[in-house]
Amino acid sequence: MACRPSIISRGSDVGQSTFNMPPAQTESALPMVQPLLKEFQLLFYISKIAGILPQDLEKFRTKNVLEKSRNGMVYMLAMLIVYVLLYNILIYSFGEEDRTLKASQSTLTFVIGLFLTYIGLIMMGTDQLTALRNQGRIGELYERIRQVDERLYKEKCVVDNSHIGGRIRFMLIMTFLFELSILLATYIKLVDYTQWMSVLWIVSAIPTFINTLDKIWFAVSLYALKERFEAINQTLEELVATHEKFKLWLRGDHDTSSRTLDSSQPPEYDSNLEYLYRELGGLDMGSLKGSGKNKVAPVSHSMNSFGESIEASDKATHHPISVNMAHESELSNASKVEEKLNNLCQVHDEICEIGKAMNELWSYPILSLMAYGFLIFTAQLYFLYCATQFQSIPSLFRSAKNPFITVIALSYTSGKCVYLIYLSWKTSLASKRTGISLHKCGVVADDNLLFEIVNHLSLKLLNHSVDFSACGFFTLDMETLYGVSGGITSYLIILIQFNLAAQQAKEAIQTFNSLNDTASLVGAATEMDNGSSTLYDLVTTTMLTPTV
């Protein structure tokens, strides 16, 4: 039925297939298979204004496609240069304080501050330059997703894009909230806003803001992929469920006596739980339970009763062919379902490929984000420690002076990183679940032809899983979090130890100097040798055994 249109749309040109479809197909397909980018409109306009994407605005507005644009490129480069200039002015004007404070700062703090001054800028630059490099390929990616949607639609598997727009809006609101609260709180509490130069502080929020917008593109696209995997799994599960119902119905004609016996049993733990299922909404427990029972009950567990099991199984295999009237199940027809399973697996492969391509496009930005997250998290906590010890910290990281702002900033940064990791992990898991659902199909249908198909496809799925990584340096799954959190703790403790040691050395030198001053005064009055040697002893004990 869906065969002819599929050939047409596959043969049709990229980007125009929606318009070239035959009228019958267009009517049903147009409202269903809407391009994913339609939901990205708000995000696209904001990104365009901020200079994250070079793609053509007009084409996007009219056709929902991302296409290269020379003007966009120029605008974006100009924005990048403006940001870099502004940021440098910011660093210069706020760096004045640092230069005066350099003496009182510990060297370690100073060096860390210097090292991390430009990391935000580097991250932003990576994002924008990668976007420039990828400007042609991103459009292709969404076009491929749209084709996947069409193919899924032909398998009666509809993907709902409607809540993606809401998701984008929520993420944007969260971004604005976090950025504004950090910016305003720092500006009001920690920046001297009597000077007009202090307005430049706004620039300090630009790198993180641009980075977040770019990551929203990635996150939402990844989420869309995850939904497609889940749609495939859902379709397979539905196949299983209908077949189980079908089998139940088949057996219902013959085994009514045993079923009434089952229902007359006293209520048990699972009957209580069944009530819960109804309560909590969701799975159709009645059918599952019945099928579970009927599926297995005829085959006895005992090793001795062979004959009985064979009889029962014969019955199960023959009926789907003989009785096929009111209820239907696709799984009972192996040759028909073969095509469907094959198609679904091909779509799965295609989604995996899209995932890999997407990962590749965003690999450098993700790597820089993760590096940024790790360094900034450690540095912010370290500066927070320094601030509690009343040491001066680099002026760009002044938000660390207030624990409350630090908490917001840290949760913003870590939220970004963790969400990306979590989503990648979830997507990878969803892609792996397809194999499980496929095997369920095979087991439920219990047909040798189908087993062969399932085995073949299952191997294919095993060999074709999608795992996300940051440039191949580390995989984006939850185990990375374990390593990163361990790393942050270790580095923090080491840094604090160095800081403590440096502080103590500084205090010891100060004591030494002041003692030296007094010693020279005292020494002028009394005998030189005696006094200075005791002082020398005192100072050495101060330095070496810190028990004074």
Partner 1 sequence: MSGRLGRVLHFHLRFYQVLGFHGLPLPGDERPHRTRQLLRAWSLFILMGLSGMVAVCLTSDLEFLYKGDLFGCVNDGMKFIFSELAVLSIYAETMASQRPLARFWWLHGKLNRQQQHGSRRLSRPVSIRSELRQYRRYLISLYGILVGEILINIWLWQVQPADMHLILFWSTFEPLVFLMYMRNVQFVLHMELLRQQLAQLERELSLLAEYSRFASLTGRSFKDFGHFLRRRLLQKQCVYNDVHEMYTCFQRAFRFSTLTVLLSIYVRIAVDCYFMYYTIYISVANLDYSLILPALFEIPAFIYASQSCMVIVPRIAYQLHNIVTETGCCGFADLSLQIQNFSLQILHQPLRINCLGVTILDCCLLTRIVCSVGTYIIYTIQFIPKFSNQ
Nearer to partner 1, 82 or 276 (CB): 276
Q: Are the C-beta atoms of 214 and 52 separated by less than 8 Å?
A: yes
Minimum distance from residue 259 beta carbon to partner 1 (Å): 15
Q: Does 261 bind partner 1 (CB under 8 A)?
A: no
Phi/psi at 359 (5° precision) = -60, -40
SS (HEC) of 102-136: CCCCCHHHHHHHHHHHCHHHHHHHHHHHHHHHCHH
Nearer to partner 1, 31 or 266 (CB): 266
Question: By CB under 8 A, what part of segment 485-504 binds partner 1?
Answer: 486, 489-490, 493-494, 497, 500-501, 504
Stretch of 55-63, 215-223, 330-338, 442-450 contacting partner 1, by CB under 8 A = 442-450
Q: What is the C-alpha separation between 348 and 377, in angstroms, rounded?
A: 37
Q: Are the C-beta atoms of 52 and 127 separated by less than 8 Å?
A: yes
Q: Does 243 bind partner 1 (CB under 8 A)?
A: no
Q: Does 275 bind partner 1 (CB under 8 A)?
A: yes
Question: By CB under 8 A, what part of segment 462-481 binds partner 1?
Answer: 462, 477-479, 481
Question: By CB under 8 A, what part of segment 446-465 binds partner 1?
Answer: 446, 448, 451-452, 454-455, 458-459, 461-462
Q: What is the C-alpha separation between 167 and 149, in angstroms, rounded?
A: 19
The binder of partner 1 chosen from 202, 299, 509, 528 (CB under 8 A): 299
The binder of partner 1 chosen from 436, 471, 505, 528 (CB under 8 A): 436
Stretch of 326-334, 336-344, 372-380, 430-438 contacting partner 1, by CB under 8 A = 430-438
The binder of partner 1 chosen from 194, 269, 335, 390 (CB under 8 A): 269
Length of the chain: 548
Minimum distance from residue 103 beta carbon to partner 1 (Å): 23
Q: What is the C-alpha separation between 522 and 532, in angstroms, rounded?
A: 9
Please name the amino acid found at residue 431: S
Q: Are the C-beta atoms of 378 and 488 separated by less than 8 Å?
A: yes
Q: What is the C-alpha separation between 163 and 375, in angstroms, rounded?
A: 34
User: Tokens for 11?
Assistant: 């043969």
Minimum distance from residue 313 beta carbon to partner 1 (Å): 5
Minimum distance from residue 309 beta carbon to partner 1 (Å): 6
Q: Does 546 bind partner 1 (CB under 8 A)?
A: yes
Minimum distance from residue 190 beta carbon to partner 1 (Å): 23
The structure tokens 């080491």 sit at 494
Q: What is the C-alpha separation between 533 and 317, in angstroms, rounded?
A: 103
Sign of the torsion angle spanned by Cα atoms 338, 344, 347, 352: negative
Q: Does 505 bind partner 1 (CB under 8 A)?
A: no
CB count within 10 Å of CB 124 equals 25
Q: Are the C-beta atoms of 56 and 68 separated by less than 8 Å?
A: yes
Beta bridge partners of 475: 469
Q: Does 89 bind partner 1 (CB under 8 A)?
A: no
Nearer to partner 1, 53 or 241 (CB): 241
Q: What is the C-alpha separation between 396 and 198, in angstroms, rounded?
A: 12
Stretch of 118-126, 205-213, 225-233, 276-284 contacting partner 1, by CB under 8 A = 276-284
Minimum distance from residue 97 beta carbon to partner 1 (Å): 27
Minimum distance from residue 387 beta carbon to partner 1 (Å): 14
Q: What is the C-alpha separation between 367 and 372, in angstroms, rounded?
A: 8
Residue ranges in contact with partner 1 by CB under 8 A: 267-270, 272-277, 279-280, 282-283, 285, 289, 292-293, 295-297, 299-303, 306, 309-310, 313, 425, 429, 432, 435-436, 438-440, 442-443, 446, 448, 451-452, 454-455, 458-459, 461-462, 477-479, 481-482, 486, 489-490, 493-494, 497, 500-501, 504, 546-548
